[in-house]
Amino acid sequence: MKRTVEAGLVAAAVAVAASFAVPALADGSGWGRGSIKEPVGSYSAAGPCYFRADVGYSFSNDPELRWSAWNPPLPYNERVTRKSMDDTWFGGVGTGCGSGSRGFRYEFMLDYHGQRSLSGTTAPFNDGLGNIQSARISSSLTSYTGMVNGYFDLGNWGGLVPYVGLGVGLAYHQMDDYALTGTSSTILWKVTGDNDLTLAWSAMAGFGYQLSDRAILDFGYRYIDLGRAASARNDNFSTTPSRLSVDDITAHEFKIGLRYHFGGDACCMAPGPLK
């Protein structure tokens, strides 16, 4: 079901991009440096540097969950099945500079990813009371990222400037306490959460559209890998060192943003024929 929703959103994004591109082609504008009889727009070129703010929605992939606890006579048990992580919203602010509507652009962004619940089911284990049972494991995760992004703007297409990009940076995760819930819906034990700082990276694509001499509307897609997170090892009985590890925290994200440009008049995205 989640994959169907993601596919639908990708199709919607393509349709929106096409709705801008078709009028541009009808006016005789397009890729490259071809002959264009009439200018498409009248805005002055935006300055090379900008501030930006984004908001969007993050569709989480199911992470890899590993859980270990020593329960004699059973060995370490790390198998977790039926794993899931909720989707969430995100927002960010940043600043950057570019070289024009065809060329490289760099920026630094700080993003906040809202709290996401995560859960899974453990393989059978000894609950310490002589019972062998599976349990539902549950927690939640909140993430912050600081990313350095590099883009290549592909050219001005009637005021529409598509781009592709890559990003690298750090992700800071705040993992809440996690609970193990038995078959009788009673909490077997809780384990303290923890904070983690890990590497993160992303791949991006989208387009910008100039609204005024300084404002550019930005629609984007991003695949992001936020690394990993883990709980502490302290449970409420202070007897069993057990840890929940969350690996491969990835998501497909769609965002809309506004870039406010400044710093010159010889650059970035004047909607008109390429010179």
How many Cβ atoms are within 10 Å of 87's Cβ, its own excluded? Answer: 16
**pLDDT per position as a tens digit, 254-270:** 999 999 998 765 444 44
**pLDDT per position as a tens digit, 209-257:** 988 888 999 999 999 999 999 888 765 555 555 778 899 999 999 999 9
Structural domains of the chain, with CATH = 2-34+50-262 (2.40.160.20)
The sign one gets for the Cα dihedral 228, 234, 237, 238 is: positive
**pLDDT per position as a tens digit, 115-165:** 999 998 887 766 666 666 778 889 999 999 999 999 999 988 888 999 999
Q: How confident is the model at residue 184 (pLDDT cuts 50, 70, 90)?
A: low
The pTM assigned to this predicted structure is 0.75
The pLDDT of residue 128: 62
Q: Which of 34-38, 60-64, 125-129, 265-269 has the lowest mean pLDDT?
A: 34-38
